[in-house]
Structure 1
Amino acid sequence: MTIAHPQPIRIGVQIAPQHVDYPAIRRTAAQLEEAGVDIIFNWDHFLPISGDERGKHFECWTVLAAWAEQTSRVQLGPLVTAISFRNPDLVADMARTVDHISDGRLVLGIGAGAMERDFAEYGYEFGTPGSRVGTLAEALPRIERRFAALNPPPVRKIPVLIGGGGEQKTLRLVAKHADIWHWFSSGEEFARKKQVLHQRCAEIGRDPGEIELSAGVGGDPGETGSALLEQGVTTFTLEVHGPDFDLSAVRNWVAWRDRLGS
């Protein structure tokens, strides 16, 4: 049975840029595009987030620029870039540039940052959860203004994805600024966070249907995917790790997406 949704159902894959040489990352990005994935993401960390803390690792935005040149169809972006690591106007300029390199395929995933090791390693002030979200709140309008001022402007209105589920602050920012909201897990917690997001949208008079829902997933798409689909999620993102980058689960989710559209 075909299920109607306001947004197309999309499969995203986050390629973990850790514990692997770059040729394997390049090859995996090509394989994912060929497999029919809709979006490829990386992450914005400076060190591995699992395994050997001093293992191999690659920087977020330079990898995105390489993917923008390498690929031709798939959308791409960070899941998510930490706003404290770069001046917000610079983030807008970087995003605009990658958007042009990719002919309008960038998704700007953005968040407050959460891993203290990253901040300490590169000399950024970690602060508190509240201060980091405050930095994000100040940055989002600056990014929007810089997009409008850049010459040339972005190829399209770059979709802004905000990751995180803080109910008092982050979801207010999602309601005000985001085109896509991403929560990093599924299940009952997702349903509760979604309800809070609807409340935040009501407070400012925004239609929550304007915000695409995205979730990190795993397991059987027939179970996990179908349950999230009932919650209105339309972008489903898996994570793959090297050095082997097993894509069998990804192919299962792509096949599930295609069956829903048949």
Structure 2
Amino acid sequence: MTTTPSRPIRIGVQLQPQHADYAAIRRAVAEAEDLGADIVFNWDHFFPLYGEPDGKHYECWTMLGAWAEQTSRVEIGALVTCNSYRNPELVADMARTVDHISDGRLILGIGSGWFQRDYDEYGYEFGTAGGRLNQLRDDLPRVEDRWAKLNPAPTRKIPVLVGGGGEKKTLRLVARHADIWHSFSDLETFRHKQEVLAGHCADLGRDPAEIERSVGAPDGDPADVGPALVEAGATLFTVGVDGDRDYDLTQLRSWLRWRDSL
């Protein structure tokens, strides 16, 4: 590696809650923690995103409550919660509750939402991408305000992860609210978005180094593909695993070996 990372390298895994029985998810959570993963994520949808569209699928936040009891070390969270599906005060209370169940290991990952089938079948207004981002802009302060009012309070400042890369709205929300930014982009786009984010941080008077940079772990040997992303600023790498592979954690093991070799 040619660059010293700005903070410790962390490895996460997203156990996509589709195309599997819950027993397989439970086993994968335990295995990921035993292997040494730093974070275990799920996602917040109501139907599979790929594969059989009406395949098996499970709800996000009830699962996080179960993970909070099942695990003892890893951080847990959604990559990401859809802001449209729940009142922001309720999201704050749910997050605070899972924070306590887990003894302070919850990350609140959140985004504006995009999967129209979820909206249509569960009766939410889909609207426009801009409208959903405006709603997220308005709701994040409400989440933070509710945390300040809850009794008992959260065990810690719950880290907020904002996912997305929209340059005018999303990255400004990252600059204002996020402890972690998750980018869904390739290396060159990630570098460009970093510059945009730095501009928003300057406008708001925030040090961009306060925000951890998160990316999906790309395919390939981590020793080959990881260093360039670290050089660009990424320090959290998350491996996505689908249930139709029975949660094969081979790739996670490779990324953990790379992390431990640094």
Under TM normalisation by the shorter chain, which class is it? over 0.9
Structure 1 stretches of 4+ with a deviation exceeding 6 A read none
Deviations 1:180-238 (Å, cap 9, x if unpaired)?
00012331111111111011111111110010100012222112211110011110011
**One-letter amino acid of the structure 2 residue matched with residue 259 of structure 1:** S
Cα distance, 1:192–1:3 mapped onto 2, change above 3 Å: closer
Q: 1:2 to 1:32 in 2, by over 3 A?
A: farther
Q: 2:112 — aligned with what?
A: 112
Secondary structure of 2:243's partner?
coil
Kindly provide the amino acid, as one letter, of the partner of residue 192 in structure 1. H
Counterpart residue number, 1:166: 166
2:197 aligned residue: 197
Deviation readout 1:119-176 (Å, 9 max, x if unpaired): 1010000000100000000000000000100000111000000000000100000000
Q: Would you say how many aligned residue pairs link Structure 1 and Structure 2? A: 260
Asked whether 1:249 is paired with 2:248, we answer no
- Name the CA distance, whole Å, in 2 between partners of 1:25 and 1:10: 21
Q: Is the 8 A contact 1:77 1:108 kept in 2?
A: yes
Query: What SS does the aligned partner of 1:136 have?
Result: helix
Tell me which residue corresponds to 1:126: 126
Would the aligned equivalents of 1:185 and 1:217 in 2 still touch at CA under 8 Å? no
Give the equivalent residue in structure 2 for 1:67.
67
Q: Distance in 2 between matches of 1:46 and 1:130?
A: 22
2:68 is the counterpart of 1:38: no
Note if contact 1:186-1:228 (Cα within 8 Å) is conserved in structure 2: no
Greater RCO, CA 8 A, separation 6+:
2
CA-to-aligned-CA distance 1:99-122 (integer Å, 9 cap, x gap): 000000000000000111111010
CA distance in 2: counterparts of 1:15 and 1:2, whole angstroms: 31
Show the counterpart of 2:13.
13
Scaled by the length of structure 2, what TM-score is found? 0.97
The answer on whether the counterparts of 1:75 and 1:107 sit within 8 Å (CA) in structure 2 is yes
Secondary structure at 1:66 match in 2:
helix
In 2, Cα distance between equivalents of 1:223 and 1:203: 36
In structure 1, runs of 5+ residues without a counterpart are none
Is residue 137 from structure 1 mapped to residue 137 from structure 2 by the alignment?
yes
> Matched residue of 2:11: which SS?
strand
| Deviations 1:27-55 (CA, angstroms, capped at 9, x unpaired) | 00000000000000000001000011111
Question: Match of 1:187?
Answer: 187
Code of the residue aligned with 2:250 in structure 1: it is S
8 Å contact 2:2–2:231 — kept in the other structure?
no
Identity of aligned residues (%): 63
Query: 1:3 Cα deviation (Å)?
Result: 5.7
C-alpha contact (below 8 Å) 1:64/1:77 kept by paired residues: yes
| Helix, strand or coil at the partner of 2:17 | coil
Question: Secondary structure, in 3 states, of the residue corresponding to 1:240?
Answer: strand
Question: TM (normalized to structure 1)?
Answer: 0.97
**Partner SS, residue 233 of structure 1:** coil
1:186–1:217 CA contact under 8 A, matched in 2 = no
For 1:192 and 1:211, the matched residues in 2 are separated by: 16
Secondary structure, aligned partner of 1:236 = strand
- For 2:218 and 2:166, how far apart are their aligned partners in 1? 22
TM-superposed CA distance for 1:5, in Å, is 3.3
Letter in 1 for 2:255: W
How much has 1:2 moved relative to structure 2? 9.2
Taking only aligned residues, the RMSD between alpha carbons, in angstroms, comes to: 1.1
